Amino acid sequence: MKFRVLFVGGGTGGHVFPLIAVANAVKEKALSSGVDLEILIIGEGQLLRDACMVSGFKFKSIFAGKIRRYFSFLNFLDIFKMPIGFIQSLWHMLLFMPNVVFAKGSYASFMPCLVAKLYFIPLFIHESDSTAGLTNRIVGRLANGVFIAFKNAELEFSPGRCLLVGNPIRKELLGASHDEGLVMFKFDANRKTILILGGSQGARTINNMVLQSLVMLTDKYQIIHQCGEGQFDIVKAEVDRIVKEGKDAYADRLINNYKLFSFFNINEMRLAYAASDVIVSRAGAANIFEIAAIGKPAIVIPITHSASNHQVLNAQEFANFGAIVIEEDNLATHLLINQIDKLLLPENYDRISAQIKSFAMIDAADRVADQLLLLNK
């Protein structure tokens, strides 16, 4: 008899990649233990669709309405998506009839979670951040169990229903050597490499700081800059302008020491992590736990004006393990370079790397998979 697991989610990489990591872990464990497994992933967004295609999972798209906690005309449009998403979820779940549903937060998982409870299907959710998002706060009341990445998050849910596991990461990101990474990016082993991550959507504040500081940054370091697909054309045009202005001065150095990407595939991400000496990133849970698993000193720049303030709280937790936090309002070239240099000091580097690595819980996906597969007993 088949054991069917339904995964639901969507949105940004912070929701999509942990979902895929758990699905892969369930698949591997089922294969090794002889479980006749069937997986279906439903949700919203091109990123999730692409990730399912690469990983070989069956995917069904649903409409998902997002209610923003601020005025937007999109709220009125998204209201009409919700009943459609509800009906789609009813239909997909009726046809698939899973033994268990696992939801990775985001507004795209709201309707499928409601439908799971209507069908009396066991529901488990995962909360990545140190404070729960709106969707998880609501569906957490319906869930049979809640996996959390930060200890503080258990305060948002019913006592006794939370299991601290960390944030699931993609195992494929681990294992590359520093030299492999440098070869991939055609970088010099005698210069330090800084990886700057703008996220899947693009962090405008971080991208603007990089552009304003580009000449100084490339004078000292080699830079790998992932700017986000939505920001790539703007950033690329500005980089081209800076190179043109520096034709007889710094242009060649900048071209050699700066590599721009809109988005990384899994292999590029693995090698970018491996090549880096220091990582500059937002404070999303996915970023933090991947950086910790790699064990690289990090500077995190949390979004400071989000509704739940989740990135600020994530960053505060990460700072307890050696990460440096720079607030958006204080972000400036001299401060960033000063903090990078501080992390690169020989007397600091190995100690901070070890501290940051101690924050990691690299078995998170496996622990979630074990709990889901218990329902097959």
pLDDT (0 to 100) of residue 76: 59
339 is in an annotated binding site: no
Taking only the tens place, the pLDDT of each residue in 85-96 is: 999 999 999 999
Confidence of residue 64 (pLDDT cuts 50, 70, 90): confident
Provide the 3-class DSSP secondary structure of residue 103. strand
Residue 69 structure tokens: 């906690």
Q: Which residues contact 181 (CB under 8 A, 6 or more apart)?
A: 187, 193, 271, 272, 273, 274, 275, 276
- Among 59-73, 111-125, 153-167, 223-237, where is mean pLDDT lowest? 59-73
Helix (H) or strand (E) holding 47: helix 46-55
pLDDT (0 to 100) of residue 202: 58
Taking only the tens place, the pLDDT of each residue in 264-281 is: 999 999 999 999 999 999
Mean pLDDT of 51-55: 95
Q: Buried b / exposed e across 322-337, counting CB within 10 Å, b at 16+?
A: bbbbbebeebeeeebb
CA dihedral 189, 194, 198, 200 (to 10 degrees): 30
Confidence of residue 65 (pLDDT cuts 50, 70, 90): low
CA-to-CA distance for 350 and 309, rounded, in angstroms? Answer: 31
pLDDT (0 to 100) of residue 214: 96
- Would you list the DSSP string of 240-255? HHHHHHTTTTTHHHHH
Percent pLDDT > 70 in the chain is: 95
Provide the 3-class DSSP secondary structure of residue 164. strand
Q: Which residues contact 79 (CB under 8 A, 6 or more apart)?
A: 65
Residue 350 structure tokens: 């190995």
241 is in an annotated binding site: no
218 is in an annotated binding site: no
pLDDT (0 to 100) of residue 201: 62
Beta strand segments in 219-376, E: 222-226, 258-261, 278-281, 298-300, 324-325
279 is in an annotated binding site: no
11 is in an annotated binding site: no
Confidence of residue 67 (pLDDT cuts 50, 70, 90): low
170 is in an annotated binding site: yes
Answer yes or no: are the C-beta atoms of 232 and 264 closer than 8 Å.
no
193 is in an annotated binding site: no
Compute the mean pLDDT over every residue in the chain, rounded to the nearest whole number. Answer: 93
Taking only the tens place, the pLDDT of each residue in 136-188 is: 999 999 999 999 999 999 989 987 899 999 999 999 999 999 999 999 999 99
CA-to-CA distance for 178 and 323, rounded, in angstroms? Answer: 21
Confidence of residue 78 (pLDDT cuts 50, 70, 90): low
CA-to-CA distance for 68 and 308, rounded, in angstroms? Answer: 12
Can you say whether residue 65 is alpha, beta or left, with left for phi > 0 and alpha for psi between -120 and 50 degrees?
Answer: beta
Confidence of residue 69 (pLDDT cuts 50, 70, 90): low
Mean pLDDT of 329-353: 96
pLDDT (0 to 100) of residue 178: 97
Assess whether pLDDT exceeds 90 at residue 377: no
Alpha carbon 251 to chain centroid, angstroms: 33
Write the single-letter amino acid at 88: Q
Confidence of residue 97 (pLDDT cuts 50, 70, 90): very high
Provide the 3-class DSSP secondary structure of residue 137. helix
pLDDT (0 to 100) of residue 188: 97
pLDDT (0 to 100) of residue 82: 84
Beta strand segments in 210-277, E: 222-226, 258-261
Could you give all domains of the chain from N- to C-terminal order, each with its CATH number?
A: 3-169+362-376 (3.40.50.2000), 172-357 (3.40.50.2000)
Residue 107's CB is within 10 A of a number of other CB atoms, namely 23
Pairing of strands 37-44, 100-103: unpaired
Write the single-letter amino acid at 247: K
CA-to-CA distance for 354 and 348, rounded, in angstroms? Answer: 10
Residue 287 structure tokens: 């970023």
Percent pLDDT > 90 in the chain is: 82
